[in-house]
Amino acid sequence: MDTLQACIASVGILGPGLPDWPTAARVLAGAAPWEAAPVLLPQPVALPSAERRRTGAAVRLTLAVGLEATASAAIDPSLLPAVFSSSGGDGQNCHEICEALASADRQLSPTRFHNSVHNAPAGYWGIATGATAATNSLCAHDASFGAGLLEALCQVRVERRPVLFIAYDTSYPQPMRSVRPIPAEFGVALLLAPPGSAGALAHIALGWSSAPADCMDAAPLEQLRSSIPAARGLPLLARLARGAAGPVRIEYLDGARIALEVSHAAGS
Amino acid sequence: MSPLALTAFTATSALGRGLAATLDSLRTQRSGLAPCSFETVTLDTCVGAVAELDAVRLPPELSEYDCRNNRLAWLALAQDDFGESVARCAARYAPQRIGVFLGTSTSGILETEIAYRQRDPGSGALPAGFRYRGAHNTFSLAAFTQRALALAGPAAVISCACSSSAKVFASAQRAIAAGLIDAAVVGGVDSLCLTTLYGFHSLQLVARTPCRPFDAARDGISIGEAAAFALLERADANLDADDVLLLGTGESSDAWHMSTPPPDGRGARAAMLQALAAAALEPGDIDYINFHGTGTASNDAAEATAVAAVLGRDVPGSSTKGATGHALGAAGALEAVICALALRAQLMPGGINTSAVDPQLPISYLRENRTAALARVMSNSFGFGGSNCCLILARAG
């Protein structure tokens, strides 16, 4: 079987000091310094007001990066299947549930409960965009970026259509933060399309490696990459930002690395 | 899609450990539901608990994964020579060429719920020894299973609420079709915990008495726990007539509401039509449907409407959740294995607890077991967030 391949048609990103793809691309290309800044999660205006009030960080984050990627590619998000991958989903919501269950009355809010499902961002994405195609919601702990990317690449290959891939993580409050110290919200969306799609940023081909994963040159960016599972894909984004062809190794499970060969997109 | 063979499968639930006990319970229409005495839960409801699960212990080399959910996985993996079948498959391909795709909704969160009761009164810290990665994290189930089976290929947990472990069949099928892997262990494991018991209670979706899917007086779900696994490989020419194939999968999103389907069940309808198209079948080719059939008023009504729109009102079907309870993230795989058993035994399992089928629902609901020639069956799974999945399984001969 030949190599799994896809085009990257567009990117959305939101994380510390990386407020959108145009800004992040300059930082990742080394054209501008990374500057610490809190992650400002936009109001989820795409949702009906009744739903808007019910959303937490995971939903706002994924809507922001997903809509940035689809807008930048001028693609109607309602037509796309989507793959979500996250190490821990909504950390604050999980904490609130465990705290309520440890209290005397164990009263849970119904909204908190239905927001606790790992696929809550996928559910709200559908409500916001009207997308009725399949979504998937994955978790692979620290390998969640790689696991989601593999699922999306398989979908592109088998379904022969564009797929929106969103990796995201949120931070836990204490006491969970001590055992899972994810420092900040981080989300990235890649609109993947079949090889040869017009106007793509780059082309990627999948391979494997046992060599160490690529690190980021700038210390603060390496800190993001190594501390937030969804940011494990930053070396790929850096290559996209620089427009430079070549290999990228991304952390996956145990001793395996996903080795992507990035090239200029044919037909772009 | 190209058919895949389920070259091994097993299930452990409130109906018993392994296939023989499960089939025996289905044949005798025994329910695994009983009044809830789980942990410190004080809700007036019934649950489908796995007997003697508390006594199961993981081997020392896997102790970092210890939690109720992984104990249930371990118990199930030990049935029906499942591990031996996987080892043979790994010897044929390579451990790196076998994927692990498992569904769960709550993984080992019970450990976290208990740890939150044991926080340090001064600092609020969790007790020493709390294991985030091995117990709490959603991926814990797949990491544990991959190690328990000595596999080294791609692995992921798919967590899409109650459709999770149906959707793993679709992901595995794509990964095999794309050439990423040669075979896959798929399945689902979900175990009793306070989050789901109190959570569904907060939504007023939990029945007091054993759940009654499609009954005119249905009043909610009974929560169950289960583990079910299957080994998927490309179907080769040497199939026996009794072998079971995965012919088609369909997935869709409601884009409607987080916890309620649209009344016309259009998302469910789309998933069923897609599965039929993938299997290159006509609606008339389906001999039995295992409904999602949770026992809530709105879910059963929407599913019945969708099924009638796709298959008509005459295809016999039942929900086995009256027997197993709703195993949530494990329900899809559990019911796929029940469908595989039904195909082998040529038995349509009647839906128990339902005493008067809702006359408003346009379906042919089976309450009694029926022996019949079964060639192709359909299984529906729908989850919160509007996540729908439909599987079509068939006999090879």
Residue range A237-266, pLDDT digits in tens: 999 999 999 999 999 999 899 999 999 865
CA dihedral B113, B117, B118, B124 (to 10 degrees): 100
Output b/e per residue, A136-153; b: 16+ Cβ within 10 A.
Answer: bbbbbbbbbbbbbbbbbb
The answer to whether A176 faces chain B, any CB pair under 8 Å, is yes
Q: How far is A102 from chain B (nearest CA, A)?
A: 5
Residues of A in contact with B160 (CB under 8 A): 117-119, 122, 135-137
Using 50, 70 and 90 to split pLDDT, how confident is the model at A74? very high
Give yes or no for B157 touching A (CB within 8 A): yes
Percent of chain B with pLDDT over 70: 100
Asked if residue A212 is part of any domain, the answer here is no
Residue showing tokens 């389907």? B261
Contacts of B175 in chain A (CB under 8 A): 150-151, 154
Longest dimension (CA), chain B: 66
- Proportion of chain A above pLDDT 70, given as a percent: 98
**Whole domain around residue B69: which residue ranges?**
4-395
**What confidence score (pLDDT) does residue B357 get?**
98
Strand B4-13 versus strand B226-234 pairing type = antiparallel
Domain count, chain A: 1
User: Tell me, what's the pLDDT at B19?
Assistant: 98
Using the Cβ of B85 and the Cβ atoms of chain A, whether some distance falls under 8 Å is answered with no
| Residue A268 pLDDT class (50, 70, 90 cuts) | very low
Give the count of beta carbons closer than 10 Å to the beta carbon of residue B187.
36
What's the token pair of residue A107?
Answer: 């009263």
* A240: region left, alpha or beta (phi > 0 left; psi from -120 to 50 alpha): alpha
Q: What letter would DSSP give residue A10?
A: E
Chain B residues 174-213 with CB within 8 Å of chain A = 174-175, 177-180, 194-195, 198-203
Q: pLDDT of B239-274, one tens digit each?
A: 999 999 999 999 999 999 999 999 999 999 999 999
3-state helix/strand/coil string of chain B: CCCEEEEEEEEEECCEEHHHHHHHHHHCCCCCCEECCCCCCCCCCEEECCCCHHHCCCCHHHHHHCCHHHHHHHHHHCCCCHHHHHHHHHHHCCHHHEEEEEECCCCCHHHHHHHHHCCCCCCCCCCCCCCHHHHHCCCHHHHHHHHHCCCCCCEEEECCHHHHHHHHHHHHHHHHHCCCCCEEEEEEEECCCHHHHHHHHHCCCECCCCCCCCECCCCCECEECEEEEEEEEECCCCCCCCCEEEEEEEEEECCCCCCCCCCCCHHHHHHHHHHHHHHCCCHHHCCEEECCCCCCHHHHHHHHHHHHHHHCCCCEEECCHHHHCECHHHHHHHHHHHHHHHHHHCEECCCCCCCCECCCCCCEECCCCEECCCCEEEEEEEECCCEEEEEEEEECC
Inter-chain touch A150–B180, beta carbons under 8 Å: yes
Asked if the model's pLDDT at residue B182 lies above 50, the reply is: yes
Catalytically active residues of B, by annotation: 162, 292, 326
Q: What is the pLDDT of residues B67-90, one digit of tens each?
A: 999 999 999 999 999 999 999 999
Rounded average pLDDT over B304-329: 98
Q: Is A157 on the interface with B (CB under 8 A)?
A: yes
Measuring CA to CA, how many Å separate B107 from each of A94, B56, B141, B375?
Answer: 13, 17, 6, 34
Candidates A247, A213, A235; CA nearest to A29 is: A235
Residue B100 has pLDDT above 90, yes or no: yes
- Interchain proximity B139–A180, CB inside 8 Å: no
| Helical axes A57-72 vs A120-129, angle rounded to 10° | 50
**Selection from B342, B252, B118 nearest residue A136 by Cα:** B252
Number of helical H runs and strand E runs in chain A: 10, 8
A175 shares contact with chain B (CB less than 8 Å):
yes
Question: How do beta strands B223-224 and A186-193 pair?
Answer: unpaired
Instruction: For A148, name the nearest residue in chain B, comparing CA atoms only.
Output: B156
pLDDT attached to residue A265: 65
CATH of the domain at A97: 3.40.47.10
Say if A142 falls within a structural domain.
yes
Cβ distance A101 to B160 less than 8 Å, yes or no, reads no
Q: What are the tens digits of pLDDT across the range B349-386?
A: 999 999 999 999 999 999 999 999 999 999 999 999 99
Mean pLDDT of A68-74: 98
Q: How many of the other CB atoms lie within 10 Å of CB of B61?
A: 9
Q: Which residue of A has its CA nearest to B129?
A: A179
Q: What is the number of domains present in chain B?
A: 1
Q: Do A126 and B119 touch (CB under 8 A)?
A: no
ipTM for the complex shown: 0.98
User: For residues B12 and B334, what is the distance between their CA atoms, to the nearest angstrom?
Assistant: 8
Give me the total of CB pairs closer than 8 Å, taking one residue from chain A and one from chain B.
208
Does B132 contact A116 at a Cβ distance shorter than 8 Å?
no
Q: How far is CA B256 from CA B49, B167, B217, in A?
A: 32, 20, 26
Q: Does A205 touch chain B (CB under 8 A)?
A: no
pLDDT more than 90, % of chain A: 94
Q: Helix, strand, or coil here: A266?
A: coil
Asked if B234 reaches chain A (Cβ–Cβ under 8 Å), the answer is: no
Alpha-carbon span A58 to A39, nearest angstrom: 12
pLDDT, residue A266, reads 57
